[in-house]
Amino acid sequence: MSIEATMPRGEASAAAQQISSKSSFHAAMRILPPPRRRAMFEIYAFCRAVDDIADTPGPRGPRLEALAGWRDRIDALYAGRAPAGLAELAQVVATFGLDRENFLAVVDGMEMDVVEDIRAPDLAKLDLYCDRVASAVGRLSVRVFGLADPLGRELAHHLGSALQLTNILRDLDEDAGVGRLYLPAEDLAGAGIAATEPAEVLAHPALGRACAPLVARARQHFAAAKTTMDASPRAAVRAPRLMAAAYRSLLDQMEARGFAPPRQRPRVDRKRLLLAYLRYAAF
């Protein structure tokens, strides 16, 4: 039976579609065939919900309880008792064979931000964080895109890591405003920065040297993701190619401008994204 036959004919839940319209990935989602697009809207709505819990100011206890509640909801969904509001997500799980562990990994990643304000993690902890909050989402997404393992898992790892590292560099000031600093301890030490207080690190004259290794790692992951996409069926990687093009434009802008203050937040190059769309999505 086809994907089109197993998915409901209506659009995704109104909440899911409204939330996804605010995403940097909206253009990539919109080029997917309707059943796959609706599935991505639902996955994104889940990610947005748990991310909002992690980023909401206030005591940690209630936020940890809220994340635990999401674990219970995911468990119930996989036990065949989809909670209110998750009927569409349950249909997506059944249609695309999504793994419960990846949803739970996303919740675990958000919990890392609630348990403590992450500051200068070592590389192993940063890799774990990226796997949970980004690559796990990728592992869900590649199933919707129609990309089988091992290529799907490779793409999820490399593109997820590239996107998350780019996010970290883009959001330095925003994260510092809530007491977080994701630049690795090894890179700070390599640049001669002993501080871990976010504001102090971001004002340090050697900040650019501390960011350079993260830029390089992001580029390595983008390159590995491109190699994987080049070896994949064209239709299955149209959306991730657009995601990669959008985020590479952000990384290019940040590297060109440097990281000295004031840091203007980069925006996706619309012309570059249109060219990527014409190259990868329109045909």
Give the pLDDT confidence of 49-78 residue by residue, as tens digits.
999 999 999 899 999 999 999 999 999 999
Which residue, 147, 148, 168, is CA-closest to 221?
Answer: 168
Residue 122 sits in the same domain as residue 226: yes
Q: What is the mean pLDDT of residues 25-35?
A: 81
Residue 78 sits in the same domain as residue 206: no
User: What range defines the domain where residue 51 resides?
Assistant: 1-98
**CA separation, residue 134 to residues 93, 102, 193, 262 (Å):** 18, 10, 28, 28
Q: Is residue 254 part of a domain?
A: yes
Give phi and psi for 65, each to the nearest 5. -65, -40
Residue 143 sits in the same domain as residue 19: no
Among residues 49, 71, 98, which one ends one of the domains?
98
Residue 154 sits in the same domain as residue 81: no
Number of domains in the chain: 2
pLDDT, greater one: 272 or 238: 238
Q: Is residue 111 part of a domain?
A: no
Residue 91 sits in the same domain as residue 133: no
Euclidean distance between CA atoms 75 and 174, whole angstroms: 33
CB-CB contact of 202 with 172 (8 Å):
yes
| Angle at the Cα of 205 from the Cα atoms of 199 and 209, rounded to 5 degrees | 100
Output the pLDDT for position 276: 59
**pLDDT tens per residue across span 233-252:** 999 999 999 999 999 999 99
Q: Is residue 267 part of a domain?
A: yes
Q: Is residue 109 part of a domain?
A: no
**CATH (domain of 189):** 1.10.600.10
Residue 140 sits in the same domain as residue 92: no
Kindly tell me the burial class for residue 99, based on how many C-beta atoms sit within 10 Å of its own C-beta (0-12, 13-18, 19 or more): middle
Residue 77 sits in the same domain as residue 134: no
pLDDT, greater one: 180 or 277: 180
Q: Is residue 37 part of a domain?
A: yes
Residue 49 sits in the same domain as residue 165: no
Residue 121 sits in the same domain as residue 44: no
Helix, coil or strand: residue 171: coil
Amino acid at position 54, single letter: A
Q: Is residue 112 part of a domain?
A: no
Among residues 66, 98, 130, which one ends one of the domains?
98
CB-CB contact of 273 with 242 (8 Å):
yes
Residue 124 sits in the same domain as residue 245: yes
**pLDDT tens per residue across span 182-203:** 999 999 999 999 999 999 999 9
Which residue, 242, 264, 245, 243, is CA-closest to 254?
Answer: 264
Helix, coil or strand: residue 33: coil
Six-digit token string for 231 = 């070896």
Output the pLDDT for position 28: 77
Residue 38 sits in the same domain as residue 127: no
**pLDDT tens per residue across span 91-121:** 999 999 999 999 999 999 999 999 999 999 9
Q: Is residue 179 part of a domain?
A: yes
pLDDT at 140 > cutoff 50:
yes
User: The whole model's pTM is what?
Assistant: 0.89
Note the helical H segments in 122-171: 123-130, 136-145, 151-170
Residue 50 sits in the same domain as residue 159: no
Six-digit token string for 168 = 């970290």
Q: Is residue 103 part of a domain?
A: no
